[in-house]
């Protein structure tokens, strides 16, 4: 057995999915100079129930102090550590169209432990261009790059039809964590994690609330739903 207490502690997937939101809110509080926060305040800022927040944080072994709450910086560090963000995660982006360019320049990608080490696209018009100081190379260069500076996480930002071949290339050089922005379901061998991002999900959730508002407005019962 490993001696790392994080390994032995099981954290439910739903809790893991909320940790980035807690961390984002804590970072904002820290920027504003806030030193400690009650579970009620933090829960309200994130948009979850405080009982849910306390339960989630208890999985990290963080229980706060009665009457004081949580120390903002300490809790942020604990969540960062649980998420693995205190380590170094070399990232490669494949597909340097508009989305790939936007992702390479996205401030949330280059902070928080992620480091872009490779940008790939087979379009000859893009070859040799630099984005955030990293040259765009053809995908055929991936194995050589992998030797020089191994990639931990591959990001697929290609059209759907190219996504599976790109995924196979990433897996072939030993990448076992893949973030897929292409609207395609990928087949991967056991031991490889794929997470798909669908940019329209939040738009659909907004449409739900907009529909409720327009129905409720007919009832004279307009309610505000703010969740950011």
Residues numbered 154 to 213 that lie near a second copy (CB under 8 A) are 155, 160, 176-180, 183, 185-186, 188, 190-213
- Residues numbered 102 to 141 that lie near a second copy (CB under 8 A) are 102-103, 105-109, 112-114
Looking at beta carbons only, is 54 or 209 nearer to a second copy?
209
**H or E, element range at 220:** none
Residues in the chain: 228
| 101 is a contact residue toward a second copy (CB under 8 A) | yes
Looking at beta carbons only, is 66 or 223 nearer to a second copy?
223
Looking at beta carbons only, is 68 or 102 nearer to a second copy?
102
| Chain Cα centroid distance, residue 168 | 22
Residue 57 half-sphere exposure, CB side, CA atoms within 13 Å?
29
Among 39, 146, 152, 164, binds a second copy (CB under 8 A): 152
58-96 core/surface letters (b: 16 or more CB in 10 A; e: else) = eebebebeeeebbbbeebbebbbebbebeeeebbbbbbb
- Residue 211, phi then psi, degrees to nearest 5: -65, -45
- Residues numbered 24 to 63 that lie near a second copy (CB under 8 A) are 24, 28
Q: List the structure tokens of 183.
A: 């609207």
Looking at beta carbons only, is 109 or 141 nearer to a second copy?
109
Q: Which stretch binds a second copy (CB under 8 A): 35-43, 59-67, 138-146, 149-157?
A: 149-157
- Residue 106, phi then psi, degrees to nearest 5: -70, 125
| Chain Cα centroid distance, residue 32 | 23
Among 38, 87, 123, 145, binds a second copy (CB under 8 A): 87
Which of 168, 134, 132, 176 lies closest to 151, judged by CA? 176
- Residues numbered 65 to 84 that lie near a second copy (CB under 8 A) are 82-84
Q: Is 197 exposed, middle or buried (0-12, 13-18, 19+ CB in 10 A)?
A: middle
Among 85, 119, 170, 171, binds a second copy (CB under 8 A): 85
Tell me if 97 is assigned to a ligand binding site.
yes
Task: Output the known binding site.
Answer: 95-100
Extract the annotated binding site for NAD(+).
95-100
């Amino acid at each position: 057995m490993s001696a790392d207490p994080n390994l032995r502690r099981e954290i439910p997937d739903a809790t893991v999915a909320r940790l980035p939101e807690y961390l984002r809110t804590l970072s904002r509080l820290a920027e504003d100079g806030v030193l400690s926060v009650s579970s009620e305040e933090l829960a309200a800022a994130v948009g979850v129930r405080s009982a849910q927040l306390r339960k989630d944080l208890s999985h990290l072994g963080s229980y706060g102090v009665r009457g004081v709450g949580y120390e903002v910086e300490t809790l942020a560090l604990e969540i960062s550590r649980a998420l693995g963000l205190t380590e170094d995660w070399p990232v490669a982006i494949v597909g340097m169209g508009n989305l790939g360019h936007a992702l390479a320049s996205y401030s949330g990608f280059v902070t928080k432990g992620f480091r872009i080490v490779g940008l790939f696209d087979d379009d000859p018009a893009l070859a040799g261009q630099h984005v955030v100081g990293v040259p765009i190379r053809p995908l055929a260069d991936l194995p050589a790059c992998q030797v020089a500076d191994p990639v931990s996480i591959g990001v697929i930002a290609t059209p759907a039809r190219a996504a599976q071949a790109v995924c196979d290339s990433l897996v072939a050089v030993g990448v076992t964590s893949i973030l897929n922005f292409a609207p395609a379901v990928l087949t991967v061998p056991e031991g490889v994690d794929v997470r798909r991002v669908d940019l329209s999900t939040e738009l659909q959730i907004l449409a739900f609330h907009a529909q409720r508002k327009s129905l409720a407005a007919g009832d004279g019962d307009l309610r505000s739903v703010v969740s950011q």
